[in-house]
Structure 1
Amino acid sequence: MRLQRFLARAGVASRRGSEDLMTAGRVTVNGAPATELGTKVTVGVDRVAVDGKTVALDQGAVYLMLHKPAGYLTTMADPQGRPCVASLVPREQYPGLFPVGRLDKDTTGLLLFTTDGDLGNILLHPSHHVAKRYLALVDGTVRDAELEPLRAGITLDDGPCQPAPCRILDHSEEACLWPDTASAEARGRAGTATGVEVILHEGRKNQVKRMLGAIGHPVLLLHRDRMGPLELGDLARGSWRMLTPEEVDALKRVSSVASDPAYARDALRKDHA
């Protein structure tokens, strides 16, 4: 079979990602660099390696979550040498690893990584409505009524947003998330700040920040603790862990049904409950 198909089926990377590995000279077949995209291999006979590590067809894809800290770009390489999430995950062990979606440099929380290109593309597709929960500390004192435009589907400069279930966090929830908010509150209007939960079923650039800014409450701190069936839990900031088999199965179930309109309606009802 074609080498890029072999690599994709082995869970190293998507086919496109596998082609990038090949053209970069990181893939060898029987010890020789394989940079030609038409290269074919015989399964069980040829020895395929990426960065010197042997690749087996039955090794399967890799799925892990990272608790992203602030100050890191969601990219696997930065030409300017800025800190990026690639340094926080086992990239050398799994060369095809890539982040599913992105978090802003100053946003913390759950970031999913995988070598499964097909699953990654499904989860990122805007029509698939995979729910993501964000917790924001915003400038000023927010009244519940001010969140109604977000619940109804606020319109931003790039078009209308889907309705976003949201609520004001109580003080105990704020204290757990941001135990030391003095610096953030000092930047708030009259020294005040409010915690807000927002559930998104789409993933436009800076969407939560723009939505809350549109109602007059700029975001001071932003954290994501849930994506589809995955929850960050007590994973330490800056640490990663492999997904459990049950989490992988749940993620695949979500990806297989998320494009069903009934799924999106049920997800919205559940988030409102």
Structure 2
Amino acid sequence: MTEKLQKVLARAGKGSRREIEALISQGRVSVDGKVAALGDRVTGKEQIRLDGHQVETQAQADVLCRVLVYHKPEGEMSTRKDPEGRPTVFDRLPKLQGARWVSVGRLDVNTSGLLLFTTDGELANRLMHPRHEIDREYAVRVFGEVDEAMLQRLRKGVLLEDGMGRFDTIKYSGGEGMNHWFHVTLKEGRNREVRRMWESQGMQVSRLIRVRYGKIELQRNLPRGGWAEMPLDQLNYLRTQVGLAPEVESKVDVDAPKRYKQVAQIRKAVRRHNSRTKAGGASTGPSAAAKKKPAAGRARNPRQKQKTRI
């Protein structure tokens, strides 16, 4: 069985398929000593080189599907590299040999919360596709007067620049003064869709946190900037939701005492990463605007009282 060359190199962590197609077009990839061309297919037994360096490849069947749950802070970009040198969500992730982390969708720079990463590109693509109708839940704090007519319009659908958008559910979560928390769900992941929908009603979004993806909830004890590998049962929940065969192996130790120990290790790693990047002159926190203390009377983040299943 053969696979497209760019797919094999992407699985080996050498870039996205689009990036690798560009490398192939530039003549920087060779297969068994011959310069590769777009459209080439390989079995995986060939000697593949990128810029003269041999690439270690694995067959799809040999790659263990892994999923990370990441607590994205405000201020991080959802890209592998940022031309302005800003921190990205990939900076803290563990290094892989012969594979790469693929992000399941994105969160904009001012949005925090749950972000998934996987080594299985097919799983990532299916999770992001609207046809599988996996809902996402967000805690959103808005500033302004909210009435029932506005909520009805958001449930029914509002016209955005890229088509209609609607919330499947809207639940009021409390607030004081002009600040109100809502939990909203939708089955799409279009760019800044939650913010744009509220803004279409003249409302200002001051905080936005993704708290759930399908049945996977953001861990209450996972610090901002921390990641944890998903256990086999939750990983297979995601796979079955999108029509993929379940995995039978996992790198996660399900022993409870060790899981508690892992939480402490995650917190220590986050502190170490923050100290190292600050010493190097890089900013790992949110923008100056995001760092400002909440004004008097602002509602407490409703996630603080939530229980999670992870």
SS at match of 2:243: helix
Tell me the distance in 2 between the aligned counterparts of 1:92 and 1:159. Answer: 39
Aligned to 2:158: 154
**What is the correspondence of 1:221-236 to structure 2 with a 5 Å cutoff?**
221-234=207-220, 235-236=222-223
> Distance between the aligned counterparts of 1:68 and 1:245, measured in 2?
22
CA-CA distance at 1:166 after TM superposition: 0.5
Report the equivalent of 1:174.
none
Give per-residue Cα distances to partners, 1:30-84, cap 9 Å, x unaligned.
Answer: 9x999666474565xx788999895554242332121100001100111221211
Kept after mapping to 2: 8 A contact 1:4/1:18:
no
Farther-moved stretch of structure 1 (15-24 vs 94-103): 15-24
1:122 is matched with 126
Root mean square deviation of aligned Cα: 3.7
1:64 corresponds to which of 37, 61, 68: 68
Larger helix fraction of residues? 1
Q: Does 1:252 align with 2:239?
A: yes
Provide the C-alpha distance between the structure 2 equivalents of 1:25 and 1:115, rounded to a whole number of angstroms.
27
Distance 1:192 1:202, change over 3 A: same
Distance in 2 separating the partners of 1:159 and 1:42: 42
The one-letter amino acid of 2:238's match is L
1:141 deviates by: 4.2
Aligned partner of 2:189 in structure 1 is 203
Q: Secondary structure at the match of 1:87?
A: coil
**Count of residue pairs brought into register by the alignment:** 236
- Aligned ranges for residues 75-154 of structure 1 at < 5 Å? 75-93=79-97, 95-154=99-158
- Alignment of 1:237 with 2:238, yes or no, is no
Q: Within 1, Cα distance between the matches of 2:12 and 2:233?
A: 18
Q: Which amino acid aligns with 2:243?
A: S
Question: More deviation in 7-16 or 141-150?
Answer: 7-16
Structure 2: runs of 5+ lacking an equivalent: 245-310
Identity of aligned residues (%): 33
- What's the offset of the Cα at 1:123? 1.8
* Offset, 1:250: 0.7
Structure 1 CA distance for aligned equivalents of residues 129 and 241 of structure 2: 13
- Residues 63, 243 of structure 1: 8 Å contact kept: yes
Secondary structure at the counterpart of residue 109 of structure 1? strand
Q: State the AA in 2 paired with 1:236.
A: P
For the residues of structure 2 that align with 1:40 and 1:4, how far apart are their CA atoms? 6
C-alpha distance in 2 between matches for 1:26 and 1:243: 36
TM-score by length of structure 1 reads 0.70
Contact 1:13–1:115 (CA<8 Å) still a contact in 2? no
Question: In the aligned structure 1, how far is the partner of 2:82 from the partner of 2:36?
Answer: 24
Q: Distance in 2 between matches of 1:27 and 1:229?
A: 41
For the structure 1 residues 40 and 98, does the alpha-carbon distance in structure 2 shift closer, same or farther, using more than 3 Å as the test?
same
**CA distance in structure 2 between the partners assigned to 1:13 and 1:230 by the alignment:** 29
TM-score (norm 2): 0.63
Check whether the contact 1:8–1:18 (CA below 8 A) recurs between aligned residues: no
Is 1:13–1:117's contact at 8 Å kept on the other side of the alignment?
A: no
2: CA distance, partners of 1:34 / 1:66: 39
What do the CA deviations read for 1:226-267 (whole angstroms, capped 9, x no partner)?
11121112222101111111111111121129xxxxxxxxxx
Task: Label 1:9 to 1:101 Cα distance change in 2 as closer, same or farther (>3 A).
Answer: closer
Confirm or deny that 1:220 pairs with 2:233. Answer: no
Contact 2:12 2:99 in 1 (8 A): no
Amino acid at match of 2:192: N
Contact 1:72 1:84 in 2 (8 A): yes
Give CA-to-partner distance per residue, 1:163-184, whole Å, 9 cap, x none: 531011135xxxxxxxxxxxxx
Task: For 2:136 and 2:165, locate their aligned partners in 1 and report how far apart those are by CA, in whole Å.
Answer: 14
Q: Secondary structure at the match of 2:242?
A: helix
